[in-house]
Structure 1
Amino acid sequence: MKIVLAPDSFKESMSAARAIAAMQDGVRSVLPDADCVGVPMADGGEGTVDAVVDALDGEHVSVEVADALGRPVSARYGHVADRRLAVIEMAAASGLEQVAPQDRDVLRASTSGVGQLISDALDRGAQEFVVGLGGSATNDAGAGMLTALGARLIDAAGDPLPPGGAALARLDRIDLDGLDPRLTGVRIRLACDVTAPLLGPGGASAVFGPQKGATPADVEVLESALATFARVAGAAHAGTPGAGAAGGLGFALLEFLGATARPGVEVVAETVGLEQALTGAQWVFTGEGSVDAQTMLGKTPFGVAQVAGRTGARVAIFAGRVAPDASVLLDHGVDEIIGITAEGTPLAQALRDGPASLARAAADFVRRRLV
C-alpha cells in the first residue's frame, strides 16, 4: 500500500519533516511494508522555506540584510542548486515580528531586505523564485525591494527618495536603467493568499496598514503615496488580485519583475511535486496544528485534499486541535479528521508530545481503517 505523508508543520511542536517521520513511524508500526512517501508541505507562509528545502534536498542560506527599518538582521532563505531555485519568505527580512511594537513605523518601513535576498540568490545562480508574501511590516509597494535591485525612485528635484511608503508621495519618475540585468528571464511565483488590490478600501493601506500600526491619518498618507507610485509606474497591475499583499510588495513584483500570483499552497504543491507523488497512492495523510472551517481558505490540509481529488487518493487529516466546524471538510474531499491530542491536555504538554501523539494517532488510524 502506498501512503503519501504530506503535512504542514505543527506550529511550535514539529516541522513538516518531523511530522512526516512521526506519521511514518505510526504507519510502519502496523504495516511494516507500507510504501510511505514523504512530501513536506506549507501554504506559502511560515515554514515554506523549510518544506521546500526538505522536499527537494536544498540548503538554507543565511544573509545579513536590512530589516524593515534599515537595521542589520540575519535572514534565511532556501536554495535548491540543481533546480536553480530560491525560496524566500519576505517576512524573514521585512517581517512585522522583526520589529518590536514600540519601534514600528509603517510610514518609513522598507522592503529593501527582500531585494537583498533576491540579489544574493541571483549571485548563487537562481533563475526561479518562489516568494511568500505574508507577515510584512511594510507598506512601500515594494519600492525598497526595487531600489535594492538597482532601480532609482527620483523626486522632481532629481534626488532619490528616502525609504518607506510615505516618501512615494514625492515620486516624479522611476529609473530602471540600473535594475539588475540578471532579472531578465527569471521566473517569479508569488505564494499569496491575499487577493487585495494595491489601492482602495480593500487595498494594502486601508486593510493591512492598521495591523502594522498605521493610524487613520497614516492610512490616508500611504494610500495617496501608493496611488502616486502606481500612476508613475503605469499601474497595469494595481488592480490585480494580490497586488496589495505584503504592503503592496506584490504590486512591484507583478509590475516590474513579471511575477505571477497564486494561492500559496498551490505554489508549494507544484514546487515539491505533490501531484506526481500521489500517483498510485491509496491514501494521503496531511495535517497541521489546528483545523477548522477556515482551513478551506487556503490552508495546507485543504490544498492537499484538492490535489488528492485529482489522483483518486483518499485523505486523512491529523491535527492537534480539531474545531467542531472542521466537519465541513468532510464534504470537500476529506475522508476523516483525526485529533491527535486528548481533550484537556495542557498546551505545553501537547506541543512537547506532538510527535509521539501523531505517531500514535497514525498507527491507530491505520489499524482501524487500513488493516
Structure 2
Amino acid sequence: MKVVIAPDSFKESLQADEVAKAIQAGFMSIFPKAEYHLLPIADGGEGTVKALVSAHKGSIESISVTGPLGNPVEAKIAFSNGGKTAFIEMAEACGLHLVPLNRRNPMHTTSFGVGELMRHALDQGASELIIGVGGSSTNDGGVGMASALGYEFFDEQGKPVEGTGKDLFRITSLSDLNRDRRLDSMKITVAADVENPLTGLNGATYIYGPQKGLPETMLNEMDQAMGSFYQIAGSHMGTDVSSLPGSGAGGGMGAGLLLFTGAQLKKGIDLVLEHLKVKEVCHDADIVIVGEGKMDGQTIYGKAPAGVAKCAPRKAKVIAICGSVGEGTEALYEHGFDAIFPTIPAMRPIEEILGGAYANIERTSRNVAALLQNGRDGSNG
C-alpha cells in the first residue's frame, strides 16, 4: 500500500514537515509495512521557501530586517542555481506569528521587511526571485515593501508616510524617481496562496482582515482606503491590477508586487506542486493525506490541500487531517476529498491546543488508519 502524506503547516504550531511526520507516526502504528512518501507542502504562505529549497537543494541564510511592528527580526532567504535564483517568504519578514496576540491589528503593521529581503537578493546578484505572499500580519497593500525599494508615498501636505496599513488612508501621491532600477532586469514570480481580488467583500480586507486583528467596524473603511490608494497608484503607474485574481494575497502584497515591481502572479500551490513533482509521486498512490490548520469553504480557492487532492489518482482515497473545520467544508467533497478529520479534541485554551498539535495529529491519524484497516478487513472477508 502506497501512502503519500502531503500536508501544509498548521500555522503557529507545527511546520509542514513536522505535520507529515506526526501523520506518518499515527499511520505506522496500524500499517507498519506501508510505503510512505512524505511531501511537506506550502501554497505561497508559511513554509514555501523550505518546500522549494528542498526541491532545488538550495541554501538558506538569515538576515536582519524590519519586522511587522518596526522592530528587527531575523528572516530567512534562500538561494539556488549558483545564487541566481532567490526564494523569499513574505511571512518571514511580516508574518502573523511575529505579532503578539494582544498587538494584532493590520492598521499598525508594515511589509517593509519584505522589500529589504528583495533588496538583499538584488545585492547578492540574483536575477530571478520567487516570493510567497501568504501568512502575513499586514494589510498595507505592499506600500511598506515598495518603500524599501525606493518608492516614496506622500500625504496631502507632501509629507512622507511610513508604510503601515493606516497610511493607506493618508496617501495622496507617490514618486518612483528613486525606485531600485535593478528591478527592471529581475524576473519576479509571485506565489499567491489565495485567488482573492484586492477589494470588495471577497477581497483582502473583508476576508483576511479580521484574522489579522482588524476590528469589524473598520472593514468597510479599510477596504475603501485600499481601493482609493490603488486608484492613485494605478493612475500614476499607468495600469490597474486591483481586479486580478490573487491581487488580494498577503494583505494586498500581490497587487503591490504586480504594480511596483512588474512581477508575474502564479498560484502558489501550482508552483510548489510543479517543483516538487507531486503529481508524479501520487500517480500510483492508494491513500493521499493532506492537511492544514483550518479547513473551510476557502480551502478550494488555491489552498494546498485542494491542490494536492487534484494530483491524486481516481482510485486513491483522499483524506484531510486538519486542526479545525470551519463553514463550507461540504464543498470539499465535490473537489476530490473523501473524508475530513479535525484533530482538536476539546475546547481548551489556545496555548494548550497549539502546544499539543503533534500528539493530536498523531492520535487522529492512528484512528483514521484503524478505520481504514477495518474497511480493508471487511472488504477482504
TM over 0.5: yes
Bigger drift between 14-23 and 75-84 goes to 75-84
- Secondary structure of the residue that 1:301 maps to in structure 2? helix
Distance 1:361 1:238, change over 3 A: same
Contact 2:325 2:342 in 1 (8 A): yes
Tell me the distance in 2 between the aligned counterparts of 1:244 and 1:307.
26
- Secondary structure of the residue that 2:176 maps to in structure 1? strand
What is the match of residue 142 of structure 1?
Answer: 142
Distance 1:270 1:352, change over 3 A: closer
Residue 345 of structure 1 and its aligned partner are, at CA, apart by 8.3
Tell me the distance in 2 between the aligned counterparts of 1:345 and 1:366.
27
Spell out, residue by residue over 1:53-100, the C-alpha distance to the aligned partner (whole angstroms, 9 max, x if none): 456555543221123454322223454556955443323323455456
Tell me the distance in 1 between the aligned counterparts of 2:243 and 2:47.
29
- Secondary structure of the residue that 1:74 maps to in structure 2? strand
> What percentage of residue pairs aligned between the two structures are identical?
32
Distance 1:278 1:122, change over 3 A: farther
TM-score, scaled to structure 2: 0.75
Contact 2:206 2:219 in 1 (8 A): no
Residue identity in the other structure for 1:64: S
User: Does 2:272 match 1:273?
Assistant: no
After TM superposition, list the pairs within 5 Å mapping 1:323-362 onto structure 2. Answer: 326=329, 328-338=331-341, 344=346, 348=352, 351=357, 353-358=359-364, 360-361=366-367
Residue 271 of structure 1 and its aligned partner are, at CA, apart by 3.3
Tell me the distance in 2 between the aligned counterparts of 1:134 and 1:146.
19
Tell me the distance in 1 between the aligned counterparts of 2:309 and 2:291.
10
Tell me the distance in 2 between the aligned counterparts of 1:278 and 1:287.
16
What is the match of residue 235 of structure 1?
Answer: 239
Residue 195 of structure 1 and its aligned partner are, at CA, apart by 1.7
User: Does 2:300 match 1:296?
Assistant: yes
Bigger drift between 121-130 and 273-282 goes to 121-130
What is the match of residue 180 of structure 2?
Answer: 179
Gaps of 5+ in 1: none
What is the match of residue 318 of structure 1?
Answer: 321
Residue 191 of structure 1 and its aligned partner are, at CA, apart by 1.4
Spell out, residue by residue over 1:180-221, the C-alpha distance to the aligned partner (whole angstroms, 9 max, x if none): 4265242312313152235x6765567767854658667665
- Secondary structure of the residue that 1:7 maps to in structure 2? coil
What is the match of residue 113 of structure 2?
Answer: 113
Contact 1:315 1:333 in 2 (8 A): yes
Tell me how many residue pairs correspond in the alignment. 364
Tell me the distance in 2 between the aligned counterparts of 1:206 and 1:317.
27
TM-score, scaled to structure 1: 0.77
Residue identity in the other structure for 1:113: G
Distance 1:84 1:335, change over 3 A: farther
What is the match of residue 367 of structure 1?
Answer: 373
Tell me the distance in 2 between the aligned counterparts of 1:115 and 1:202.
26
Tell me the distance in 1 between the aligned counterparts of 2:22 and 2:225.
50
Distance 1:366 1:320, change over 3 A: same
Residue identity in the other structure for 1:357: R
What is the match of residue 163 of structure 1?
Answer: 162
Contact 1:291 1:326 in 2 (8 A): yes
Bigger drift between 250-259 and 10-19 goes to 10-19
Bigger drift between 294-303 and 147-156 goes to 147-156
Question: Root-mean-square deviation (CA), in Å?
Answer: 4.0
Contact 2:190 2:254 in 1 (8 A): no
- Secondary structure of the residue that 1:250 maps to in structure 2? helix
Gaps of 5+ in 2: none
Contact 2:321 2:343 in 1 (8 A): yes
Tell me the distance in 2 between the aligned counterparts of 1:22 and 1:180.
46
Tell me the distance in 2 between the aligned counterparts of 1:30 and 1:21.
15
Distance 1:104 1:24, change over 3 A: closer
Tell me the distance in 2 between the aligned counterparts of 1:36 and 1:183.
44
